[in-house]
Amino acid sequence: MPVTSKDPTEPTDGPVAGATTASATREQRSLARRLGMGWHLHGDGRRITPGEVVAPDERLAWPQTIGVGIQHVMAMFGATVLVPTITGFPVTASLFFSGVGTLLFLIITAGRVPSYLGSSFAFIAPISAAMSQHGIGGALGGVLVSGVALFLVGLIVQRAGTGWIHALMPPVVMGTIVALIGLNLAGSTTEAMVTVPLTTFSTALAIVVCAVLFKGLLGRLSILLGIVVGYLVALAQGQIDFSPIGEAAVVGLPPFHAPEFHWDVLFLFLPVVLVLVAENIGHVKTVGLMTNRNLDSSNGRALMADGLATTLSGLGGGVGTTTYAENIGVMASSRVYSTAAYWVAGIVALALAFFPQFGALINTIPAGVAGGAGIILYGMIGVMGVRIWVQNRVDFSNTINLMSAGAGLIVAIADPTLDIAGMQFGGIALGTATVLVVFHLMTALARWRGTEPVSADPDENPYESSEPGRLG
């Protein structure tokens, strides 16, 4: 019989081949863990062990995991599409960058922090101001700069920790900044209340009723359900034009836009960065408490991931992103903290972005519906600031706290526009600057003179809470 020689490049049998295969498998598992995708099955994969939760590095069987992922999509959907609807940004592009941002967040945090990145309501005011002067390109420039700034903050936090943030923005300052954003936005609902009062107040009432009547997932979908009710009321009054839906393609790419940079509006976006920092740190702490894990070491990565996601949104036409408390609520009720479910949610958001007719349908939401949702949402933003004061027991008998908060709020509500060397500063930027300057100036003078005890503790974390909250 002829003797055949074996190709040396072919795999061989025996111990060497087994060792090679095992090594390759270990490398694949190591890479999966670094990307946050090294999940192992929780129990039998079909049910959650009593008294336990599905940890971030665990998952249920894929059918159950996909089901939880769909719940996350439903929870984030109302707020994520409402922001581009209010600001005039393309809905499908915002969904696209929301999905991309979520997947990047999961990879950068190595799957340690289960979270969804959706459109941030903190961007509404600066985007609206920039759009009125320079169109979508000018607004995207501000979003991009915000993302870069947030990424740099995350880089510093990763190396130096969060102590300097707490010193810069103690509870009285952070609570004021959050509250003044909501109060500043209040005026944007006036036109809807005057011109289409039935649609506006029907939407607001529906959100309130759904939040009270329903529990669990339906309760967390109160914004989405309220928008649906308001939409039906507007439809009955003939306020909706469906023609753009027929003109849109069934399948296609999202409408991408390039950023432009205009110094006169870029500074309007800086206060947003402060809010996103506080919100991100607070959500990481909340998830850590709920999963019984110390995630403080992930703060820097989480901020960098959110910053990168917002930067990409600014590059292509999406709204800036933030971590969503609605999805924290889904985790709390389902006891599933698996990041695998968030991969499902991110992929679904990406898929929806490639249906232009879907985006056209969302764009038919009339101003009255957006205004009605705004009444509730902007009010919630304002009260979230008050909540920070209450949770951290801010002492308003202290003159420093009282004057700092009062001055910042009044400037923001008055909403002046200050032009300095061609750069415009609106109410939110000026209110933020006011509370920061007044607080730190009064604190420095009081310490120098010894005339006033400072109740704000720089070491106190104003963003730690066992309950989720969002300025999304």
Under the banding of pLDDT at 50, 70 and 90, the label for residue 307 is very high
Does 365 fall in a domain?
A: yes
| In the predicted structure, residue 458 carries a pLDDT above the cut 60 | no
| 470 in a structural domain | no
> pLDDT averaged over the chain?
85
Q: Is 302 contained in some domain?
A: yes
Please indicate, yes or no, whether the overall pTM of this predicted structure exceeds 0.85. Answer: no
How far lies 114's CA from each of 15, 104, 210, 393, in Å?
A: 40, 12, 27, 29
Decide if 441 is inside a domain. Answer: yes
Range in 203-217, 247-261, 342-356 the model is least confident about = 203-217
Read off the amino acid at residue 199: T
Tokens of 60: 């249920």
Does a structural domain hold residue 283? Answer: yes
Region 238-243: mean pLDDT is 88
Examine the pLDDT at 74 and tell me if it is beyond 90.
no
Token pair listed for 152: 């740099």
Q: Which domain holds residue 159?
A: 58-449
* 46 lies in some domain: no
CA 416 to chain CA centroid, Å, is 27
How much is the pLDDT for 453? 59
Please report whether residue 38 resides in a domain: no
- Structure confidence at residue 409 as a pLDDT band (50, 70, 90): very high
b/e string for 260-287 if b means 16 or more Cβ within 10 A?
bebebbbbbbbbbbbbbbbbbbbbbbbb
Average pLDDT over residues 171-194: 87
One-letter amino acid identity for 45?
G
Residues whose CB is less than 8 angstroms from the CB of residue 112 and which lie 6 or more positions away in sequence, other chains included: 36, 56, 293, 295, 298
CB 355 within 8 A of CB 91: no
| Count of CA atoms in the C-beta half-sphere (13 A) of 217 | 14
CA distance 103 to 113: 12
Which 3-state string (H, E, C) describes the chain? CCCCCCCCCCCCCCHHHHHHHHHHHHHHHHHHHHCCCCCEECCCCCCCCCCCCECCCEECCHHHHHHHHHHHHHHHHHHHHHHHHHHCCCHHHHHHHHHHHHHHHHHHCCCCCCCCEEECHHHHHHHHHHHHHHHHHHHHHHHHHHHHHHHHHHHHHHHHCCHHHHHHCCHHHHHHHHHHHHHHHHHHHHHHHHHCHHHHHHHHHHHHHHHHHCCHHHHHCHHHHHHHHHHHHHHHCCCCCCHHHHHCCCCCCCCCCCCCCCHHHHHHHHHHHHHHHHHHHHHHHHHHHHHCCCCHHHHHHHHHHHHHHHHHHHHHCCCCEEECHHHHHHHHHHCECCHHHHHHHHHHHHHHCCCHHHHHHHHCCCHHHHHHHHHHHHHHHHHHHHHHHHHCCCCCCCHHHHHHHHHHHHHHHHCCCEEECCEEECHHHHHHHHHHHHHHHHHHHHHHHCCCCCCCCCCCCCCCCCCCCCCC
Count how many domains the chain has.
Answer: 1
Per-residue pLDDT band for 462 (boundaries 50, 70, 90) equals low
What pLDDT, in 10s, does the model give residues 3-32? 444 444 445 555 555 556 666 666 666 667
Chain centroid to Cα 461, Å, comes to 20
Instruction: Name the token pair of 325.
Output: 């408390």
CA triplet 427, 430, 433: central angle to 5 degrees?
145
Segment 31-59, tens digit of pLDDT: 677 777 888 888 888 888 777 888 898 89
For residues 328 and 37, what is the distance between their CA atoms, to the nearest angstrom?
A: 20
First-to-last C-alpha distance (Å) of the chain: 76
Give a yes or no: residue 21 inside a domain.
Answer: no
* pLDDT for the residue 355: 93
Residue 124: pLDDT over 80: yes
Mean pLDDT across 368-392: 87
Average confidence (pLDDT) over 393-405: 92
Tell me the C-alpha distance between 283 and 306, whole Å.
12
pLDDT of residue 334: 80
